[in-house]
Amino acid sequence: MPEEIKTARRKRVLSLIQPTAVPHIGNYIGALRNWAAMAEEYDCVYGVADLHALTVRPEPAVLQKQSMEAFAILLALDLRRGNNIVFVQSHAPAHCQLNWLLNCYTQFGEASRMTQFKDKAAEHADNVNAGLFTYPILMAADILIHQADYVPIGEDQKQHLELARNIAERFNGAYGQVFTVPEPFLGKIGSRVKSLQNPTQKMSKSDRNPKASISILDTPEAILKKCKAAVTDSESIVRYAEGKEGINNLMTVLAACTGSSYEQIERDFAGKGYGDFKAAVAEAIIEELRPFQAEYKRLLADKAYLEQTAREGAEAAQRHAMRTTAKAMKKVGLWGT
């Protein structure tokens, strides 16, 4: 079982993934494959944000399956190192306790300015529930309850982290130092991978075009098919240059998977067509993902181990989270805490 995070500690990093969408190769290259190595420098908390998935009312059986698979993904990335905690959000109920306290220290205007709420409300116009409005506050609770120093975030999450910072500063201003004020994680970041069908836009898990992204769980056959269908240009020369967004994107992926420079890739494919190049990109992705996929399949086949590990992660996360929650509850005057 992961060791309980000590009070005198190294800097802490927190990141949660939602179970409703499998990460794509861009997520893997840019972040996921680097997470395990972060244990050498930081204490890390990784989790499956299953409570956040409830805002769109998923089918219960589907959510359970997806949550278990997302947890297996985190384990297959070898994240249970050192003092790291890997858990499922709903298994640590202190998150919900602190969420209510933070709701009372968040201004309505702050929450209403969240642009993602407006986007999600438009996308799910038939189900604009209160959870959709307040989930950034639950996200703040996830961060603050574990006293995270750093949070790896994408462009679309900057506003949510700023809200968490505002809540922490407001609470600390009223009651003294209770929460660590989190910063965006600015460590080593991989190259940003673009859509295979529209290489001017970033690759997205929510893209409705199945050919646009490569899931980290895609079969070798699916990866090859998607790479072959990737948008390129009519020049038929493999080189990194302005106006060649499709080729630039594939070169970025190939360089990230093999360690080759763009110059080396250009030399390797001089005089060769895009067919050979796309096949090589597919093979590089397949080989990059092979160890992870093998471990993921092994873990999924051992349900007893997954359940045991989830219990251990929940115990560690809840113990750690309750220290923060109990302190916050006492500060606001809740009797008996």
Q: For residue range 253-280, list pLDDT tens digits in order.
A: 999 999 999 999 999 999 999 999 999 9
Which class in CATH covers the domain with range 220-296? mainly alpha
Which fold would CATH assign to domain 12-190+303-332?
Answer: Rossmann fold (3.40.50)
Catalytic residues: 120, 202, 205
At position 31, the amino acid (one-letter code) is A
Cβ atoms 260, 268 nearer than 8 A: yes
pLDDT tens-digit readout, 7-52: 456 999 999 999 998 999 999 998 899 898 898 899 999 999 999 9
Q: Measure CA of the first residue to CA of the last residue in the chain; give whole Å.
A: 28
- Tell me where in the chain the CATH 3.40.50.620 domain(s) lie: 12-190+303-332
pLDDT tens-digit readout, 100-130: 999 999 999 999 888 877 777 777 788 888 8
- Extract the tokens encoding 117: 């709420």
Number of other CB atoms surrounding residue 255 within 10 Å: 18
Task: Report the alpha-carbon distance of residue 263 to residue 152 in Å, rounded.
Answer: 30
- Tell me where in the chain the CATH 1.10.240.10 domain(s) lie: 220-296
Strand partners, 215: 24
The pTM assigned to this predicted structure is 0.91
What's the pLDDT band for 5 if we cut at 50, 70, 90? very low
The residue whose two tokens read 């409005």 is 133
